[in-house]
Chain A
Amino acid sequence: MRYRSRAYTVFTISNTLFLCVLALICILPLIHVLAVSFSSRAAATANIVNFWPVGFTTDAYVQTLANEKFLRSMWIGVERTLLGTLLSMAVVTMASYSLSKSSYKFPGRQIYIWVFVFTMLFSGGLIPSFILVSKLHLIDSIWALVLPSAVSVWNMILMLNFFRTIPPDLEEAAHIDGAGHLRVLWSVYLPVSMPSIATLSLFSMVMHWNSWFDGVIYMSNPDGYPLATYLHSMIVSDNLSRIGVTSESVANFSSRTVKTAQIFIGALPILLVYPFLQKYFVKGIVLGSVKS
């Protein structure tokens, strides 16, 4: 590198500092909330906690994990995440296998593609979906949280592109040995594309864990809320109480430390899988976008 001018050195130093500040801005709010959740109640209400707990205690977590409602919501969150991911991956994998074939091998493929892609562009909207789910008697059922989002067209496109990179020789060899398509999918495609399936499953799990709005509309009883929806209702009542309105529904008059502890527990699974997410997501987005 020849550009070692004085101006460039000044730039490098200020650039490094600026990027440090940016990175800190992204992470400090989370650290602050974490610090509050581990602080004593008195310190939290006195607003003296910054980025390190004051009067360290795990009381807030003990209290949160003893809260039956919170635990039930957490369990529903886990349940929908596992069920939803499993269902979605099964449906998407099967569909992508067919769609990954060429139009020559599978005439009619293009029609299916358009049927799926159209749903990305146009939807009936919130209220017709709500009416449909209630007509199907899925209100208050866990299926209302997993069925409507099961066909992820985006995942389907990513998956069929992965499938297309599998050499056709593998499939032909299996066919010669007498394997049908289901067998080829199960014994040839799945083992070969395990890394991509794991990646897409991870996306799907994050999506399900973070989803909260379907819980709000499809669960008439707060007892059926997944964790994200539970946290949402907590935030709403918190927001209202800050402007002097107290809502009677799902009132959550817990202390600041408990609120922050709940938020942190809600974020924890995402933080745990974050290293993997970052690795694959970055690859995925680049693949999906710069692709010719």
Chain B
Amino acid sequence: MNKTEERAAFAAALPPFFLRKGKVEMANYWRKTWPFHMLLLPALLLCIVFQYIPLFGAVIAFEDYKPWLGIKGSPWVGLDHFKYLLTYPDSKQVIWNTLIISAFKLVFNLFVPIIFALLLNEVRKMVFKRVVQTLVYLPHFLSWVILGGILLDILSTEGGIVNRVLNSFGINSIFFLGNGQWFRFTVILSDVWKEFGFSAIIFLATLVGINPALYEAAEIDGASRWQQVKSISFPLIMPIVIVVATLSLGRILDAGFDQILNLYNPLVYAHGDIIDTFVYREGLNNGQFSFGTAVGLFKSMIGFVLIVISYRLAYKLANYRIF
């Protein structure tokens, strides 16, 4: 096949809506590809119904939605809910809580796994390494319902095991889940506890993949183990660290809905309420459908922009692409 023929064949195979050449091409296209479309149909339908229709349903963020009036019948209020969101003192607090909890999680969920991976990489006994890995990955697979139940039990002020340990060191019991500042601390720490092992996998894989010849050469040159880590391991895991960091920046507005909804209570709303829990409580529980949707949409839009930016950054800085 020469160049022109190849191009013609390719053009014939292009989707008809790009070409609009006529019915023959259209029929030809369908004859060749209909099984593919049929196989995609269930996924496409489910995706349209459960993902795209709610997207259009989000129009109620600009209305004063009343269930009995329906989406079409409810009065249009424009950007009122968004204005309210930005002036309402509670929502400022909620955005601040989200950012602060999320920022701390981002930092610790980056550095703790890196340090853990570096330390684990120094272990020479494979069996020990395997056992440690098996134990630290476990919390990742348990849901926040289970872990929430466990935390509630062990952090109890009435003889929870953590407070018993603190008491034995002469420290007074701490109301981890009932005091605002301690609640944030508990949320951040327990998230790191749940995820650090699992987040370390990616760094461990990179460390294991480093060519051993590099270390051997450094050793011949008389480099100590720390010098080897500093000059070989660090620079070589840097690209993946940058990728993980930038990608997690894109999720900065997700401060851990599942976790907080299982751990919080009215005592700590001031410090522990995040955007997602706020949407749930105000929107669904208190029936402010429109306001809740507006808050959710606001978060979705900022999140979308952040994700796009972070992926671009990751691509620029570390040449990373998922697709």
| A and B interact physically | yes
Query: With A108-B33, A121-B307, A127-B279 known to touch, is A239 a contact of B219 (CB < 8 Å)?
Result: no
Chain A's interface: helix, strand, loop or mixed, by majority? helix
B153 adjacent to A240 (CB under 8 Å): no
B283 cross-chain contacts in A, Cβ below 8 A = 126-127
**Residue in A1, A3, A112 whose CB lies within 8 Å of B44:** A112
Q: Say yes or no: is B171 at the interface (Cβ < 8 Å to chain A).
A: no
User: Of A56-64, A78-86, A128-136, A165-173, which binds chain B?
Assistant: A128-136
Total A-B residue pairs with C-beta atoms closer than 8 Å? Answer: 292
A19 adjacent to B14 (CB under 8 Å): no
A26-48 vs B, Cβ < 8 Å mask (1 yes, 0 no): 11011011001000000000110
Give A3 to B152 CA distance when docked, in angstroms. Answer: 46
B158 cross-chain contacts in A, Cβ below 8 A = 47, 242
Q: Say yes or no: is A164 at the interface (Cβ < 8 Å to chain B).
A: no
Q: Say yes or no: is B258 at the interface (Cβ < 8 Å to chain A).
A: yes
A113 cross-chain contacts in B, Cβ below 8 A = 323
Give A5 to B219 CA distance when docked, in angstroms. Answer: 13
Q: Say yes or no: is B99 at the interface (Cβ < 8 Å to chain A).
A: no
Give A33 to B156 CA distance when docked, in angstroms. Answer: 13
Chain B's interface: helix, strand, loop or mixed, by majority? helix
**Which residues of B259-278 are within 8 A (CB) of A?**
261-267, 276
**Which residues of B37-57 are within 8 A (CB) of A?**
37, 39-40, 42-44, 46-47, 49-57
- B298: nearest residue on chain A (CB-CB)? A125
B36 adjacent to A26 (CB under 8 Å): no
Binding site for B on A (CB under 8 A): 1-3, 5, 7-8, 11-12, 15-16, 18-20, 22-27, 29-30, 32-33, 36, 46-47, 50, 90-92, 94-95, 97-99, 101, 104, 106-109, 111-113, 115-117, 119, 121-132, 136, 147-148, 150-151, 156-157, 180-182, 185, 206, 209-213, 217, 228, 231-232, 234-236, 238-240, 242-243, 245, 256, 259-260, 262-263, 266-267, 270, 274, 277-278, 281-282, 285-286, 288-292
